[in-house]
Amino acid sequence: MSENIIKVPAGGQKITIEQGKLQVPEYPILPFIEGDGTGRDIWRASVRVFDAAVQKAYQANRKIAWMEVYAGEKAFNKFNSWLPEQTIQAFQEYLVGIKGPLTTPIGGGIRSLNVALRKMLDLYVCLRPVRYFSGVPSPVKHPEYVDMLVFRENTEDIYAGIEFENGTPENIAFKNLLKENFPDEYQKIRFPESSGLGIKPVSKEGTERLVRAAIHYGLDNKRRSVTLVHKGNIMKYTEGSFRKWGYEFAEREFGDRVYTWAQWDRTKAAHGEQAANEEQDSALNSDKLLIKDVIADIVFQQTITRAREFDILATMNLNGDYLSDALAAQVGGIGIAPGGNINYAEGQAIFEATHGTAPKYADKDVVNPGSVILSGEMMFRYMGWHEAADMIIKGMEGAIAAKTVTYDFHRLMEDSTLLKTSQFGDAVIQHMDD
């Protein structure tokens, strides 16, 4: 595509990165994708919230130069491309941006535009904060105990998985390779003649950069623990290696700033359980970050029954997909859950709606814009604009506490006031001044 489809706003400046630290100008250019379906309604409300937060936090000293880029159905209709190359280049060049929900094309070799963006830009962390806003309907007894961050690996596991459909020449060739070279493993396949097969890549490098990001976040924000979530009791050399590499890396790179359950196990073996417990207590009392682990299926139970024991969760891709949605259900659902996809080493980050396009509600001004609004809060915090981020949290808390909400919460909250998408944006802005 030779024509220039992106209009760069005059006067804005690029965010850059130097020695691993973002350099954010006072008037940064931020690429945004409006989104398909309900994305249009959501963006119109959200961008007003973002601009108001910046204005109230910094007056005329800072302002965002919004630059629209294109993906999804809107891009296809305008430019006959679901994901124009110029959009990828814009996120690479301008580093930090935000997007609404996208329609996934049927056919064409693209499984998901969201996944495509993450892979092309190597956004190896999918960050999902989960916290409770007072007054939001919840199916659990104590949703206020939920205050967690999911660091989900974004480039390996099923996102890099290789599949062989049953009956295809590739499937037959792969089965023959297994049968000839790994006969014992082949015998474990219960019904080989009708089985589709897949490969699940998990690397040491991918594990380490994810764990590094999670631990850095924990130390920088004075969190209590990082929990490695895995299914290593069954998948010994993928998920199990994720656990092993995570512990080894934490001890090697962060030294005496962390205390690991691997160290606890060594102390217990050498000196007994009481000595190990005393060692751990001493470490935590000196503000060391606890690095621990939990089996993936158990974590779903324990994040409900023992939510206060979890803080940061670092996990492979598929487990993180389940876990972030399950946690969101405890605090109001995926419609209010924020998300970001981040490459901490090179700086690129796209913050996003974590829900779908809901086309039947498109252009009706009814849906909850909370996911994009709170993703913008994450974006500002990533940029170091903490005062603007705090404004958004203050506005959201105030609007929800006043029971002025969109239909999804209204139907579950007694004595609430039903607002349109645009009106909810107004309410958030109003409560920034409380």
Which positions are catalytic? Answer: 159, 231, 297, 321
Q: Which amino acid is at 154?
A: N
Q: Which two tokens stand for residue 103?
A: 């329609």
Beta-carbon-side half-sphere exposure of residue 28 (alpha carbons within 13 Å): 21
C-beta separation of 226 from 148 below 8 A = no
119: closest CA among 128, 110, 127? Answer: 110
d(CA 429, CA 51): 10
d(CA 183, CA 205): 30
The 3-state DSSP class for residue 62 equals coil
d(CA 138, CA 6): 42
311: closest CA among 225, 378, 250? Answer: 225
Beta carbons within 10 angstroms of residue 265's beta carbon: 12
d(CA 51, CA 128): 23
What is the 3-state secondary structure of 256-315?
HHEEEHHHHHHHHHHHCHHHHHHHHHHHHHCCCEEEEEEEHHHHHHHHHHCHHHCCEEEE
d(CA 257, CA 259): 7
